[in-house]
Structure 1
Amino acid sequence: MEVDCIAFNETGYFSELICDYLDGKKELKPFYNRLPKLENFREQIEEKGTNFPQKNRKILVDSLRKQYANIDASDYTVSNINSLADKSTFTIVTGHQLNLFTGPIYFLYKIISTINLTEQLKQEYPNSSFVPVYWMATEDHDFEEINYFNFEGKKVQWNTKSSGGVGRLATDGLNAVFEVITNTFGETDNANYLKTLFQKAYLEHATLTEATRFLANELFGQYGLVIVDGDDSDLKRLLIPYVKKDIFEQLPHKIVSKSIAELESISDNYKIQVNPREINYFYLKDSIRKRIVEKDGTYFVNDTEIHFTAKELQEELESYPERFSPNVIARPLYQEVILPNLCYIGGGGELAYWLELKAYFEALDITFPMLLLRNSALVITEKQSEKVKKMDLSMADLFLKHNQLINKKIRKISNIDIDFSPQKKLIEEQFADMYKLAEQTDKSFLGAVKAQEIKQKKGLDALEKRLLKAQKRKLKDHVVRLTELQNQLFPNQSLQERQLNFSELYLEYGTALIPFLIKALKPLQNEFLVLRH
């Protein structure tokens, strides 16, 4: 395996805000707690250890044991769950939607970044324990974002009706997807493993939450991964005081809006990822997940007939906390309230909205976690790597936009200057002397001189056209091959990790895939990785 590294800001795929954060731009300091450097975890451990209630640990462990009741967890995972009761144990967390069959491959990169960071921290801080956590976004309702995965450029889609939190969705209809992959993946040992994995996850579990938990546990249980479902009554009960601050005081709306304005004042190019609402909770019950909105002192569940007075809503919250589902602004707070967490690992878009939240956390006296950009990687096969070498491309070249790459390559290989303008000018200069000579001797020769000049220019024109045609044929071959290669590595002119499902790489690498990625991904390296295998 060979690993090449490219700075995130040189890839062209990361926002100015995230690149400035990675560079430690001083103007951004008010929006994060500590930069994710190994030496900075010592203070983060001390702060979170002091600020995290012991009673929350017991509730967390009890809830996790219930969530794992029907899961064949590894001894490592069971040990990690039990260790969360100890005040010296902390978590490293990543979160992700319940994408069908993991969705894009960066799902794996997120979790592996999380696992690898915990292992690194264990070496650096042996007096503490560290647990990798995958937070399942079971309460999301954006079904269209998760109901498919791509395989060899085609969408494999689950067609069913959905409402409410996707985690509660029944797995009905996924047998049709199973038939598609059965006819698509082939009959190799690796293909048969993937088909069995899909079958056990999605056809033998009743809900999408159960299926996703099984799948993530099968892939990463041996590494001690702990999977958390926030759609849990006991865990939500810990959130009640903060839900009240949101709904009845609109605290996050005021504070986060101010933070956004401050961020925007730093740079016009900072793209604000999410905006807070006056109330940042949904009402989640049965098959509905709808926003809670307030009007003239009455609280309505949007697009339903359900409504409450302020007193009734408080009683509902105390009796049924599981019915209050945080949105993207409130969910990070929920996570940090129930977990002894040190660091959140996410993509650029996620970190962008986390950077809006620090002042909100401070107002509630909740420790703000360190924010780490997950590992990003481009996996290049041996065959593709050979093509890169033959085309004399650098790894940085591959990240250029398509037109930029083509133009750069054409300029590089076009070492013949097919422009005969200088030669034509020289002919004109030479014939100028001949015109003078004919004028002085016999003017009847002027026509012959002119004809000869035209003949020679036409000859140059014909030669120029032939050379141009030949060069175009040559360049077309380069352009076609270059386009094919870049389309393989950057499907739909996007990062591979956002398009490719892990199954495509598993079909090639098999059981070696995850160990290969575990070895290659370095969470604190702070560079985009190109992995040639």
Structure 2
Amino acid sequence: MNVISVPLPGGHTLARDYIKSYESVDHLYGGDFRNVESRRHRMEWLDRMENSRADRIKVAETLLTYNTKHNAHAAVAASIDLLKQAGTLVVTGGQQSGLFTGPLLVIYKAITTILAAKEATESLGRPVVPIFWIAGEDHDWDEVDHTYVLNRTTEISKIRMEDPEGPRSSVSAIDVHQENWTQAVDKLEAMLQDSEFKAQIMEFVRDSSAGTVSMTDAFASLMGSLFGKYGLILLDSADNELRKLEQPFFQALIMENDKLEQAYFHSAADITSSGYELQADVTKGAANLFYIHEGARLLLLKKDGLFTDRKGQVSFSQEELLAILEAHPERFSNNVLTRPLMQDYILPVLTTVLGQGEMSYWAITKQAFETLGGQMPLLLPRMSYTIIEGTLHKHMDKYGLSFIDVLEGLRDKKQQWLNAQDELEIERRFEEAKAAFTALYDPLIEQLGTIQTGLLKLGSSNKDKIVDQISFLQAKARDAMEKQNEAALRQWERIELSLLPLGKLQERVYNVMYYLNRYGPAWIDELAALPPDFSGTHRVIYM
């Protein structure tokens, strides 16, 4: 692998400033992982606050039960044993449980989490373990039910899981029928090219979905297959056993809900007054909690002194809600603004690995942490890559294209290249022919108008038809030119489809299975062996 760093244009302004000039946004965050002093300050604070969090032994035992089912590796058990020890810290990263692990960025986030924990262990001189927080409590099925691969003919292909029946419950609570898993896995197998690794890849894909399982279960199984040997602990945010341990903090979220609402608004005001846009909604009257009612995940609001949902299906006083929490903690769920707080209650989080959008909205939670006596953890931008395969690199060199050229769009450059192949200068000569004909014909039409007024209109119509016929032949000549260069144009298209599919960065679209099928499971090891770069800079990997 040959790796180069490439600055990307655009992105979230707040996250970009966090990455490039942290000092300018320090007032909106709790510290920067890349600063050793920030790490030590956070470590010392976590030591002092040990007794304010959930019991680490019980948390570790709950994680051991979950990982024994889905991620049974000796290295994971060793990480959990370390977590039981006072003083052990955690680096977290997380994502929704996408089909076949979802887009590549999930893989990169896991690798960042693993490498950041390793580096923190070395720099702080104490154990720091990696934990991947699976957002299984989310109910946005449409965001996780599909993935994209480059198929056998190097085209973008979408694989989609059938929508489940029933209420919009959390993804972890939805069992996917075996026949739907079989169809999705068969589609993946049909799309992947034959390779020396295909049988192995398809075996662990099939194993992950054996029996009727949820999307989260299959996701956890695949992530365990890829990263268990690195000691990456998996955590499902919808785990009912974990929810029991979260019950005291849900109580605090309910009792201090009005203060939390004000804290979110104050942080939002700080963000906007600093010149940035909000990346998550801060809504008046929002409780920022979900309630599970008859299988449906309902967002709670505050209205007339009660906690209710938008349609009024449920309605509770604070006392009633607390009583339900005491008896049924599994009925409660966090939203995007309370999940960071809950994560910090459950785990001794040194730092959290985030994408740019996440880094931007996390700023909204700063004062909410402080309202509950907490402190925002350090944030770390996940590592970001684009993979350029060998043949593709040769094509790019052939046409003099850089990665930045692809990002800026290839339409004009492709047309310029095609024009350069036109040795007969067909486009220029056709345009000259139309201009010459018009120059000769227009004066004649005007003179005909002096003979009879109707000839002026007829002549103008006749001229347009002739010009149209010339343009028709010009288009046919252009098509012939493109057909003559069809193989080369397919190479241009392949470059764009591989590096910027659907107009997005490759890591936001394509699934890892294409690359595992092409390069084998050891490809993950090669990525993990690259020197870590926590600067937030995008890196291009030439295979």
Q: Provide TM-score, normalisation by structure 2.
A: 0.81
Output aligned runs, 1:408-447, within 5 Å: none
Corresponding residue number in structure 2 for 1:145: 143
Residues 109 and 245 (structure 1), Cα distance of their counterparts in 2 relative to 1, 3 Å cut: same
Corresponding residue number in structure 1 for 2:101: 102
The CA deviation at 1:237 is 4.3
The CA deviation at 1:256 is 1.3
AA aligned to 1:49 is: D
Output aligned runs, 1:468-479, within 5 Å: none
Corresponding residue number in structure 2 for 1:159: 162
Whether 1:34 aligns to 2:31 is yes
Corresponding residue number in structure 2 for 1:524: 534
Corresponding residue number in structure 1 for 2:13: 16
Contact 2:54-2:346 at 8 Å conserved across structures:
no
Corresponding residue number in structure 1 for 2:6: 6
Contact 1:113-1:521 at 8 Å conserved across structures:
no
Contact 1:190-1:510 at 8 Å conserved across structures:
yes
Whether 1:503 aligns to 2:506 is no
Task: Give identity over the alignment, percent.
Answer: 24
The CA deviation at 1:486 is 2.3
Contact 2:67-2:233 at 8 Å conserved across structures:
no
Residues 304 and 170 (structure 1), Cα distance of their counterparts in 2 relative to 1, 3 Å cut: farther
Deviations 1:342-385 (A, max 9, x none): 11111111111111111111121213111111111000111111
2:337 to 329, 351, 361: 329
Q: Measure, in 2, the Cα distance between the counterparts of 1:76 and 1:211.
A: 20
Contact 1:274-1:353 at 8 Å conserved across structures:
no
Corresponding residue number in structure 2 for 1:222: 229
2:391 to 373, 376, 383: 383
Mean Cα deviation higher: 403-412 or 200-209: 403-412
AA aligned to 1:41 is: R
Deviations 1:265-304 (A, max 9, x none): 2225x35334356201111255211112233233334446
1:485 to 487, 490, 495: 495
AA aligned to 2:173 is: R
Corresponding residue number in structure 2 for 1:78: 77
2:282 to 275, 278, 283: 275
AA aligned to 1:121 is: A
Contact 2:176-2:212 at 8 Å conserved across structures:
yes
Q: Measure, in 1, the Cα distance between the counterparts of 2:402 and 2:68.
A: 51
Corresponding residue number in structure 2 for 1:264: 272
Q: Measure, in 2, the Cα distance between the counterparts of 1:408 and 1:131.
A: 52
What 5-or-longer segments of structure 1 have no aligned partner?
421-465
The CA deviation at 1:66 is 2.4
The CA deviation at 1:512 is 2.1
The CA deviation at 1:314 is 1.2
The CA deviation at 1:211 is 2.0
Secondary structure in structure 1 of the residue aligned to 2:302: strand
Residues 251 and 405 (structure 1), Cα distance of their counterparts in 2 relative to 1, 3 Å cut: farther
The CA deviation at 1:184 is 2.8
Deviations 1:31-87 (A, max 9, x none): 112122152322221122222327621221121122234346211110111111212
Deviations 1:112-153 (A, max 9, x none): 01111112222222x310111100111000001100111221
Whether 1:168 aligns to 2:173 is yes
Deviations 1:469-518 (A, max 9, x none): 99x969x9687754542232111121000111101111110122101211
What 5-or-longer segments of structure 2 have no aligned partner?
151-155, 430-473
Aligned residues: 480
Q: Measure, in 2, the Cα distance between the counterparts of 1:108 and 1:198.
A: 15
Q: Measure, in 2, the Cα distance between the counterparts of 1:169 and 1:502.
A: 24
AA aligned to 1:159 is: E
Give the number of the structure whose alpha-carbon radius of gyration is greater: 1
Q: Measure, in 2, the Cα distance between the counterparts of 1:352 and 1:408.
A: 39
AA aligned to 1:169 is: I
Deviations 1:234-274 (A, max 9, x none): 53345445434544432222111221122112225x35334
Q: Measure, in 2, the Cα distance between the counterparts of 1:5 and 1:241.
A: 45
Secondary structure in structure 1 of the residue aligned to 2:521: helix
Corresponding residue number in structure 2 for 1:440: none
AA aligned to 2:11 is: F
AA aligned to 1:179 is: D
1:512 to 505, 522, 529: 522
AA aligned to 1:2 is: N
Q: Measure, in 1, the Cα distance between the counterparts of 2:109 and 2:420.
A: 38
Residues 42 and 484 (structure 1), Cα distance of their counterparts in 2 relative to 1, 3 Å cut: same
Whether 1:352 aligns to 2:342 is no
AA aligned to 2:521 is: T
Corresponding residue number in structure 2 for 1:135: 133
Corresponding residue number in structure 1 for 2:120: 121
Secondary structure in structure 2 of the residue aligned to 1:94: strand
AA aligned to 1:202 is: S
Q: Measure, in 1, the Cα distance between the counterparts of 2:331 and 2:99.
A: 25
Mean Cα deviation higher: 236-245 or 349-358: 236-245
Q: Measure, in 1, the Cα distance between the counterparts of 2:192 and 2:81.
A: 39
Q: Measure, in 2, the Cα distance between the counterparts of 1:369 and 1:295.
A: 32
Q: Measure, in 1, the Cα distance between the counterparts of 2:30 and 2:147.
A: 36
The CA deviation at 1:411 is 12
Q: Measure, in 2, the Cα distance between the counterparts of 1:251 and 1:370.
A: 23
Residues 46 and 523 (structure 1), Cα distance of their counterparts in 2 relative to 1, 3 Å cut: farther
Q: Provide TM-score, normalisation by structure 1.
A: 0.82
Corresponding residue number in structure 2 for 1:423: none
Deviations 1:323-349 (A, max 9, x none): 110100111111111011111111111
Whether 1:203 aligns to 2:191 is no
Q: CA RMSD in A?
A: 3.1
Secondary structure in structure 2 of the residue aligned to 1:203: coil
Q: Measure, in 2, the Cα distance between the counterparts of 1:408 and 1:521.
A: 39
Contact 2:54-2:246 at 8 Å conserved across structures:
no
The CA deviation at 1:25 is 4.8
Contact 1:151-1:501 at 8 Å conserved across structures:
yes
Corresponding residue number in structure 2 for 1:432: none
Q: Measure, in 2, the Cα distance between the counterparts of 1:347 and 1:5.
A: 17
